[in-house]
Structures are given as structure tokens and as C-alpha cells.
Amino acid sequence: MKKLAEVLKDWEAVIGLEVHTELTTLDTKMFCNCKLSHDDPPNTNVCPVCLGMPGALPVPNRKAIQYIVMAGLATNCQIQRRSMFYRKHYFYPDMAKNFQTTQGPVAICMHGHLDLAVSGEGASERPAWETLAGDGETPIEREKDGSYVAPIRILRIHMEEDAAKMVHVGGEEGRITAATESLIDYNRCGTPLIELVTEPDLRTPEEARLFMEKLQQTFKTLGISDCSLESGSMRCDGNVSLRRRGETKLGTKTEMKNINSFKSLHDALEYEICRQAEVLEEGGIVYQETRHWEPSRHRTVVMRVKETADDYRLFPDPDLAPFDLTDDFIEEARAKIPELPDAKRDRYVADFGLKRADAAQLAGDPSTAETFEKSVALAPDKAAKTVAKVMVNLVPAYKALAPAQIASISALLDEDAITFSQAKDVLEAVDGTDRDPAAVVDERGMRQVSDTGALEPIVDEVLARCTDQVQQYHDGNKKVVGYLVGQCMKASKGTGNPKLFNKLLRQKLEA
């Protein structure tokens, strides 16, 4: 198969995502009072409603509706005051009532968008000559470094319920094929689930990956889900088709399932784009089918040919009255939305002078942002930039650090008491303990002398001794200062502050 970059020269990849998110932070299920929990013994959180007993009546979870409205507002959707629940019929043991309660043509949230900032290596997956966003109208403006912002339209976010969890035993990679037994746990059945569907506006596997990442950050910040791809509380299907560059008609798409990491999403789309290109270039046709991503073999395989909407016999659920959301209800949801990652990033740039990419990294994850802000509050004034530097470069390796420890190490760095590589050693030593980094620095005698009075005699001694180098300096070889700093460090047995030595040397040489 050809490489992605090669394929994308001739073909345009068109990608749309369907993302399911369980509202894991709620206490109860969507239509009954059963507890929402992932750790209880199988089939203990069940009742006549979520087991689909005849005559049981569903009652919608008010807080789940509030959460989906928050999700819609945070993704710039129009909130539909009137919408309703439908029954989507299918026969499979993971839904005891033989239909899933979901929404029809009108979802609670319609027509939103997220702006995607694409930078670094990933930005080059989209060929530079492509100047329009996926909507075919918005110009894509490139920065000098190739980065760009692409608006990605969201078609809808609707409310539905999750199915039971099935475990197939004895088969290959947990699939039903060749399994000897299938186990079923109805605890998950009826879990509030929101499904977001994008317009086919994504153009590269990297854009798809970044979209998912941004969505995860947004929903996490809203506090509506733990958004774990690994555990399946956030699940993503990737739809992709190819068309010749310049063509406007959409090609036939395939849909990728079993994507449980950001890398899988990227790699599955990359593989599928290359596979489709090969099929099309050999004169074959791409079938509309659902394919399964096999991460261990790095390929997709056919799962089933696509069922059509007619097969589901979708009709309004007679047990559930249509919604009439009031303005008060929507405003109450809006008031609950915390500062979102983009706004937070911009604030960090404006208030602390951070680099945009660093600010975005810190603002993206709510718990990282919280640690950062707590650390800044505890650190000396003006040390915010150092705190950011520590958090971006050092903290990911030392997860168990407390804000007070981050503030302390930042203060030490800020006053040049230690170097960055010393900071690394110190953090390793205090990680997971409640020890103060400053105490470790003192204990190990690491603190650099940053007192001019103590360093000056050393500088004078070195300048008096190294007459050749001093002459070279005056002859224009300014780089020789590096050698002189080295001599000062040696004379101070490594305890002097190299930056201060440098400054003092230059002062005296220029005097």
C-alpha cells in the first residue's frame, strides 16, 4: 500500500465522526432510578424499566437533559426547545426491550461547531494547496509555521441510552466469532448516553484525532463524563471516504469500530484511507460497510455490511412525552458551564505571558489546569512562567506532585538557586511524598550561591589568573566568557550560580 502522504496528493480524504459519551458523573440511569456504577457485581443495578419488563414506564433523568444542553452550548449548537424520544428497534440481548430509546430527526442540540487548531507535524498531513475548510466555504489561513485553524461543523448531539455490556469468552480479541460463551451485564443498560455526529468536515487522520481530543477536553471540563476511551465511556466511530482532488461528490464511506485510543483513531483512519486508495486505483469499488480495527495487526477487517435506517422501524416513543425545554432550563444549564479550555488558554497567555502551545496544554485538562493555578497561587509573584515551564516539561513524569512542591521548585528555579537538570533530580526525590523540594536542595547542598558578595572574589581571582583569555576577550572573542565561567564554577566547586558568574565577568571585563 502507498503511504498516507502519497495517497493524499491524489485523493481527498473525507472524514466524519460519531462519538458516544456516557454521562458517567450522574448518579442514576436515563429512565429509571438504578445506580450508575461500573464496579458493582454484574446485574445488580437493574429494575423492571432497564430490563424492559412489559408495562414498566420510563421517566427521563432531568440532570441528563441538563448535561446534554451544557454539551450543546459548549459546542456552539442551537438548543432545540422541542424534541422527542424515538424507539430504534433491533433484536439483540444487549437491550432487553428490543429497542433503544433515542432521538429522531430533531436532536436536543443541532448545528454546532468546534474550531480546531492544527499545528506541528500533523498540520502537514493536509496538503498546503488545500485552502478551504471542510464546509467548502471557509478559507484556511496558514501561519508561517504551517499551523492553521479549521472549523468543524457538528450536525447534532442527541440523547439516548447505552446497551448492556457483553463479554464474549473463548473467541479472538474478545469478538463473538468463535466465542464459546457470551456473558451479559445489564448494569450498563440504560446508562445516559449522548451521541455527537460531525459533518464530514475532517480531512486528515490528525484532524480527527485532534477533534476527539478537543471534545474530550470540553466534556471533561463540563464534568459530564470521565471520557475514558480505554474503558469505553467515550467511544468513537470513524467514517471515511475518498474522492479525487477537485471532485465535489462524496465517495462511498466505510465506518470504523473498535477505536479505544487517540492513536487507534489516527492509525485506523490512516490505514483505511490507504486501503481505499488501493482498491479504487485498481479499479475496484469501496463497499459501504462497517469495519473492525485490529490494533495488534494494524489493519481493518469487515464486520458487516451497513444496515439501512429502515431496518430500525424508528417511531416516536408513546411512553415519553415530547420535551418543551424552557428558557429558564437552558439558562440554568448555561450558568453551570465552567471556563472552557480555549478561554482558559487565552487567559493564561494574556495574564502570564505563556506560549500559546504551553497554555493550551495546561488548559486542556481540568485537573492539570487546577494544579497549575494552585501552584501559581503558591509560587512567588512573577514565577508563573517558571511554573508553566516546570509543569509542561517536568511534571508529566512526576504525577504525584502537590501544588506546594511545584511552587517550591519553581521558586528555586526562578531565583537561580538550582538548574533545570537539578530540579529534575529533586522532583524525582520528592515525587509521591510530602517533602519540600527546598529541604532536599539544602540537604544535598545543591543550592547555588547567588550572592554577589560571595562570588566576586572568585571572579577577581579567575580574571587575575587567566590573562590570556582576558586578552582574547578584549581582542573581540566574546565567547571566551564561557571558558571563564567554567573556571569560576571550578573554583567555587560547583556551588556558584553560572548565570551570575557570567554577568559579573562581563561587567568586570567591560569596565
**What DSSP letter does each residue of 56-93 carry, written as one string?**
------HHHHHHHHHHHHHTTPEEPSEE-EEEEE---T
- Collapsed DSSP state (helix, strand, coil) of residue 422: helix
Its sign, for the CA torsion 262, 199, 310, 109, is positive
**Residue of 225, 239, 300, 422 that binds ligand ADP (CB under 6 A):** 239
Out of Zn ion, ligand ADP, none, what residue 250 binds, judged by CB under 5 to 8 A for its kind, is ligand ADP
C-beta closer to ligand ADP: residue 13 or 438: 13
240 binds ligand ADP (CB under 6 A): yes
101 binds ligand ADP (CB under 6 A): no
Smallest separation, CB 243 to ligand ADP (Å): 8
- Collapsed DSSP state (helix, strand, coil) of residue 202: strand
Scanning 126-134, 144-152, 212-220, 233-241 for contacts with ligand ADP by CB under 6 A, the matching segment is 233-241
Scanning 44-52, 170-178, 404-412, 422-430 for contacts with Zn ion by CB under 5 A, the matching segment is 44-52
Q: How far is CA 10 from CA 6, 219, 251, 278, 279, in A?
A: 8, 36, 14, 12, 14
Scanning 40-48, 138-146, 250-258, 306-314 for contacts with Zn ion by CB under 5 A, the matching segment is 40-48
Strands 254-257 and 289-294: parallel
| 292's grid cell | 473492525
Scanning 8-16, 78-86, 171-179, 217-225 for contacts with ligand ADP by CB under 6 A, the matching segment is 8-16
Residues 202 and 208: beta-carbon distance below 8 Å? yes
**Residue of 18, 94, 342, 436 that binds ligand ADP (CB under 6 A):** 18
Smallest separation, CB 50 to Zn ion (Å): 3
Out of Zn ion, ligand ADP, none, what residue 32 binds, judged by CB under 5 to 8 A for its kind, is Zn ion
Give the number of other Cβ atoms within 10 Å of residue 339's Cβ: 12
200 binds ligand ADP (CB under 6 A): yes
Question: Which residue in this structure is represented by grid cell 512573577?
Answer: 382
Out of ligand ADP, Zn ion, none, what residue 253 binds, judged by CB under 5 to 8 A for its kind, is ligand ADP
164 binds Zn ion (CB under 5 A): no
16 binds ligand ADP (CB under 6 A): yes
Out of Zn ion, ligand ADP, none, what residue 47 binds, judged by CB under 5 to 8 A for its kind, is Zn ion
Residues 49 and 57: beta-carbon distance below 8 Å? yes
Residues 211 and 152: beta-carbon distance below 8 Å? yes
Question: Which residue in this structure is represented by grid cell 514565577?
Answer: 383
The set of residues, in sequence order, having a beta carbon less than 8 Å from that of 385 and lying 6+ positions away, is 352, 353, 354
34 binds Zn ion (CB under 5 A): yes
C-beta closer to ligand ADP: residue 45 or 254: 254
Scanning 89-97, 245-253, 292-300, 392-400 for contacts with ligand ADP by CB under 6 A, the matching segment is 245-253
**Residue of 83, 100, 198, 497 that binds ligand ADP (CB under 6 A):** 198
Q: Any idea what DSSP says for residue 448?
A: P
Positions in the binding site for ligand ADP (CB under 6 A):
14-18, 197-200, 239-241, 250-251, 253, 306
